[in-house]
Amino acid sequence: MRWLPLLCLVACGGGPSVLTDAPVGPPGSGTLDFSWEVRVDGFPATCADVGASNVEIATDGPGGPSVRQFPCTTEGNGSSQALSPGNHIVVLSLVNSVDSSVLTLPAQTTTVNAGTNQLGLFVFDFGNVCDASSCNGGCCSASGCVAQSDSQCGLGGVPCDDCAAVGLFCDTINGFCTSP
């Protein structure tokens, strides 16, 4: 249950300032290197599209909790603060300008060894950010609803929510239906 305070810290927005300097720690410590992508319905999206300002990595392990933030970009990478060797619970989140969570990925446990440890790629995928009822018949895009028109919805004005019904794929970044 040591991770409960960590999750509360992340969920309650009690985060730090954005850090960009290299992590420094005692001999034998290690860092967790990771990369991320921001997506809406599987397509690349900007952090502004989803209301995020920073990417946050929060860890809890033998040396206690640690939180570090990085400026949010569509694709980016970062490194945890220097951590004591051993098992750590890791939580990655997108947070807004007041450090409130926009999207938190499920917690995972990883072993930290001395030196650099690779966590891999984390995808913050928001799914479809709108639907026919919220768009009043318009089309969905990564930034929300757009008016229904042939140029925005494509193929005779079919709203993105109706793409599957006519055997097409919804391109939520550009707001129109495409062939699968």
- Chosen domain end from 125, 146, 164: 125
Q: Are residues 21 and 43 in the same domain?
A: yes
Give the CA dihedral 66, 71, 72, 77, nearest 10 degrees.
-70
**Average pLDDT, integer, range 134-163:** 48
Neighbouring C-alpha atoms within 13 Å toward the C-beta of 12: 7
Look at residue 4 and give its three-state secondary structure.
Answer: helix
pLDDT in tens, 72-84: 987 899 999 999 9
Q: Is the pTM of this model over 0.75?
A: no
pLDDT exceeds cutoff 70 at 110: yes
Q: Are residues 24 and 97 in the same domain?
A: yes
**% of the chain surpassing 70 pLDDT:** 56
Q: Are residues 98 and 171 in the same domain?
A: no
Residue 51 sits in a domain whose CATH number is 2.60.40.1120
pLDDT band at 133 (very low <50, low <70, confident <90, very high): very low
Going from the C-alpha of 176 to that of each of 41, 42, 162, the distances in angstroms are 13, 15, 10
Number of residues in the chain: 180
> Domains in the chain: how many in total?
2
Q: What is the pLDDT of residue 19?
A: 47
Q: What is the pLDDT of residue 174?
A: 58
pLDDT in tens, 11-67: 444 444 444 455 566 778 999 999 999 987 778 888 988 889 999 999 999 989 999
Q: What is the pLDDT of residue 60?
A: 95
- Chosen domain end from 86, 104, 125: 125
Write out the residue range of the structural domain in which residue 12 sits. 3-125
Q: Are residues 21 and 99 in the same domain?
A: yes
